[in-house]
Amino acid sequence: ADDIILTLKKTRRPDDWVFKVFKFNMSYLLFVSPLIVLVFCSYRTYSISEHPLLLIISFDGFRYNYFDRNLTPELLNLRVNGTYSKYMTSVFPTKTFPNHFSIATGMYVDVHGVLDNKVFDSSLNRYLTYSYELFHYNKDIVPIWTLNEKKGDGRHTGCMMWPGSNYEYQGTTIKHFQIYNESIEWKERVDRIISWFLDSEEPINLGMMYFEQPDLIMHTFGPDSPQLNQQLARINLIVEYLIDRIKNSELLGKLNVIMLSDHGGQAVPYTHVIDLNYYLDNSTYSMYGVSPNLQIYPNPGKYDEVLNSLRKGAEKSGHFFVFTRDEIHEQWHYKDSGRCPPIFIVADVSYVFNDLLVNIGKYKKKSPHIKDFSNSSFGTHGYDPLLENMRAFFMAFGPLIKQNHTVAPFVNIDLYPLFAELLDLELPLTKPNGSFIFVEDILNIKISESYTDTGPTIYIIAGVIIGALCLIVVISIILHLKRIESLKQRKSSLSSYGTCLK
């Protein structure tokens, strides 16, 4: 008995046991907690939006069959590994501003009011070029960048030079935007929009990016020129760079990408210029817009004279068409706009009007090696969207897009409901003219039913793990305290037993 008591006396005090237990568990917790915190915080370090991610890229004037030239292998590879359509139909007129705004709003031009790159608005009595007024004919429509931004809950949009995106719509301006600036290098544009997706405070979940080529060079040298082919090769390089940036960032496997164009391009011989001065007195009317279609506003009291002269000129020329407002084709979705002119003229395919004479002079100066332009051509667009050379292209790839898949051709206004579905957004009260029916086969999943917000899930899991560790420490301390109490009782009992033996 004395030996047992002596052994107990050599045992540490109960407080030392508590300290030992506490020290062990706290050391364990201090070792594990940084790992948990690292996992917990790493999600925010990447600074990626918790919402579905979409990047839309437009290459102005990239005709659907430019792929046949085998100058864009990177795009062809992406097309095969994603979803694409043989071509995409533009809206009339096949111009840059009207089509980019139709893509962004899902509306035909008679609804959104951007009838051309330059439009006369009789209600304002102003000739509108790129301006707030040009894009705000109908204040009820909501561009996709605004729809996304207004949804809130951490959703933000960034637009790199997309026409019309720098303006406020329904009281909302997007988080990031860059107005058109040709001098900004292409790689810098890509770097900037990628940085918006990875913004440390308010990352975007929708990005829209515009490139002015190959359209810009097509106007000067034509769609079949070596100069245009050089731009196609340049486009292939920037797409390679974009893909590398995506692969080397946290966007890999999360970002859905759509690449498209607004219209195609048509070669126009220098001899195919229609001079309206041959057919009517230019002091009797005002002319607005850009070939191959023009808005004609007769001077007061000159309507019949101007209309009759134009009709006779069209008959004599055989290469342009004259429409009164009521006569404009229904399928163009043009005449119901309040900005529609009283007389509208459209040149035949591969013809333009004399409004381009100034531009043509500039084109010629850029080709000093050509001495005789009678066998040369430049390029333009704006003709009927059903014409083959006006066709645009479409392709998409990403985690929500079907792979190795093709869809039937569709009109670009159908993209708006596709964008909304990809972004998990409800359509606005003013519904788009486009329909999701024609593009739903692009998706490999229904976003609204299957998309789960991984951000909060990570927080919950990390919180549960940390909470569990704390609970383990508390339980361990309680168990050891109970053990110490038991040892106290044993010691007391043995002491009493030893006293009795004496």
CA 75 centroid distance within chain: 17
- In contact, 207 and 54? CB cutoff 8 Å: yes
* Coil, strand or helix at 178: strand
> Is the C-alpha dihedral spanning 82, 86, 91, 93 positive or negative?
positive
Residues across the chain: 502
Distances 7 to 11, 237, 494 between C-alpha atoms, Å: 7, 81, 11
Residues 120 and 129: their CA atoms lie apart, in Å, by: 9
C-alpha closest to that of 78 among 61, 104, 57, 96: 57
Which sequence positions are flagged as catalytic? 96
Mapping DSSP onto H, E and C, the string for 190-224 reads HHHHHHHHCCCCCCCCEEEEEECCCHHHHHHHCCC
With 0-12 / 13-18 / 19 or more C-beta atoms within 10 angstroms meaning exposed / middle / buried, residue 186 is middle
Q: What is the dihedral of CA 6, 7, 10, 11, to 10 degrees?
A: -140
C-alpha closest to that of 114 among 439, 413, 418: 413
- In contact, 135 and 314? CB cutoff 8 Å: no
Residues 314 and 322: their CA atoms lie apart, in Å, by: 7
Residues 141 and 18: their CA atoms lie apart, in Å, by: 69
**Tokens 């704390």, residue?**
470
* Coil, strand or helix at 100: helix
